[in-house]
Amino acid sequence: MRKTLTAAAALVAAGLTVQPALADDGEAAIEHRNDVMNVAGAAMGAIGCFMKGDCALPNEVLVRNAKAIAFAGEASVAAFETDTTDSMAETTALPAIWEKWDMFEGGLTAMTEAANELAVASAEGDRSAMGPAVQKLGGTCKECHDAFRE
């Protein structure tokens, strides 16, 4: 579990505070947005571990993980602005992202809002209070993945 939390913290500290210069072929853009999404995935994994009762996490760690997901939602807007449809680099991002940008951006906003709600619900570390917020957040992830991810 520590590795998951450490990996997320390292990604936030090292790669997400400033958007990197983007290569013409889109490779750097794809790498950057993968890093952003990995932060969200690692944080969601930690929350999922707690919710299943597989690990104990202090309340402040739960809140930080939820805030990391909210941060990833916000950072994703800039991370996905570069259309990499014609890039030769490997990606699971569908062209629909740039074809339906407003819908995609709206999904990221919904993710950010749901993660912020989870941060509030996580303050006491009460699984029953967190449950609906985790479900709502997971729903935003699923909707976006179903529509925009290969």
Within a 13 Å sphere around the CA of 83, how many CA atoms are in the beta-carbon half?
Answer: 9
Q: Express as a percent the part of the chain with pLDDT over 90.
A: 79
Q: Which domain holds residue 96?
A: 2-148
The mean predicted confidence, pLDDT, of the chain is 88
Q: How many whole angstroms separate alpha carbon 126 and alpha carbon 51? A: 9
pLDDT at res. 16: 52
Q: How is residue 73 written in tokens?
A: 């939602």
The reply to whether 55 sits in an annotated binding site is: no
Tell me the pLDDT tens digit for each residue of 43-52.
Answer: 999 999 999 9
In this predicted model, what pLDDT tens digit does every residue of 87-118 receive, in sequence order?
888 999 999 999 999 999 999 999 999 999 99
CATH of the domain at 78: 1.20.120.10
Q: What dihedral do alpha carbons 101, 135, 1, 126 form, nearest 10°? A: 140
The residues, any chain, with a CB within 8 Å of residue 108's CB and separated by 6 or more, are 73, 74, 76, 77, 80, 144
Report the domain count for the chain. 1
Structure tokens at 97: 């992202």
Q: Give me the mean pLDDT over the 127-137 stretch.
A: 98
